[in-house]
Amino acid sequence: MKISQRIKNNPLASLIIFVLLLWSTYPLVLKLVLGKNDWSSLGTFGDTYGALNTLFSGLAFAVLILSLFLQRKELEAQRIELEAQRLEIKESNLIAEAQRKITEQQATLIEQQIKDANVQSFNQLLFQYLEEKNRKVESLGNSQYPGVHVLQNFNKAFIRDYGHQGTYKYIDSLNQNTFNEIISSSLDLAHSSTGNKLKDIRYAEYLNFIFSYINDNKNLGVEDSSISMFIAYTNFPEILCMACLALKNKRLLSDFKKFRLFETLDFNVGEYEVIFAMLHRKLREL
């Protein structure tokens, strides 16, 4: 059983051994068959090896066929193994791709969660800043008059000396120096008429701070909602007062234009036409 198993496992080696045994025993077998002991007399039978050579040639051809067959089986086994490896690699790539997508989704989810948290934190702080702004405005007043009354007086004082001639045509006709002098004198009058209260609470500086906070967080994509919230916490007299202050505060004027706060003003209100005319010219100069 063991010998047959070895022959089955190593057919080529077994065939070679068989051929060598046949070649070496052929003369002895021939001598026994012919019954002659004289080796010289057997010379005439040397040509009988020609028949054996033919046999060997046939066996060699058989060996070649067998080796080709075995090689074919080996190549087939290799092909099956390579195909299995290819499928395994393909499955591994699919798993890796699925893991990559899961990782990307997790990263996107984490990024969105971080952004949502940042937006929530931003809105909470903005709400506090706007509440503080309103408290500053309320602090301008007293027990008899609310803070917004001071803002109204500020706006009226600003236009006191130029309201009668503050048309767009008149403002646009002024040279730059005269125009700047009118703005400065109007602001000085407005501040002095309200006891410099806006300067005391650093109102313009605080507005700059709020707009800077919005600008610094524009990557969160909340600019429009922030300005909407700002406007919701601001009344018309305050917006008008901001426009007056922006005439001499380039930073505030730039934010006033960027956030389109002028769209909240009614430019048809004749009483404050001088403010609108000055603001319109300043915005063009930016």
Inter-residue contact 260 to 211 (CB < 8 Å): no
Asked if pLDDT for residue 8 goes beyond 60, the answer is: no
The position carrying tokens 């004082």 is: 157
Whole-number pLDDT of residue 143 = 81
- Alpha-carbon gap, residue 241 to 235, rounded angstroms: 10
- pTM of the full structure: 0.66
Segment 136-163 mean pLDDT? 89
The four Cα atoms 73, 75, 81, 82 give a dihedral, to 10 degrees, of -160
* pLDDT per position as a tens digit, 109-148: 888 888 889 999 999 999 999 999 999 999 999 888 899 9
* pLDDT per position as a tens digit, 24-72: 676 666 666 666 555 555 555 555 556 666 666 777 777 778 788 888 8
* CA angle (213 as vertex; 210, 218 as ends), nearest 5: 130
> 3-state class of 13 per DSSP?
helix
Ordered by start, the domain boundaries in the chain are 2-107, 117-285
Whole-number pLDDT of residue 62 = 74
The sign of the torsion formed by the CA atoms of 275, 277, 280, 283 equals: negative
Instruction: Count Cβ atoms below 10 Å from residue 159 Cβ, excluding itself.
Output: 21
* CA angle (80 as vertex; 79, 83 as ends), nearest 5: 85
* pLDDT per position as a tens digit, 163-195: 555 578 888 899 999 999 999 999 999 999 999
* CA angle (60 as vertex; 58, 61 as ends), nearest 5: 65
19 token code pair = 């051929």
- Alpha-carbon gap, residue 276 to 283, rounded angstroms: 10
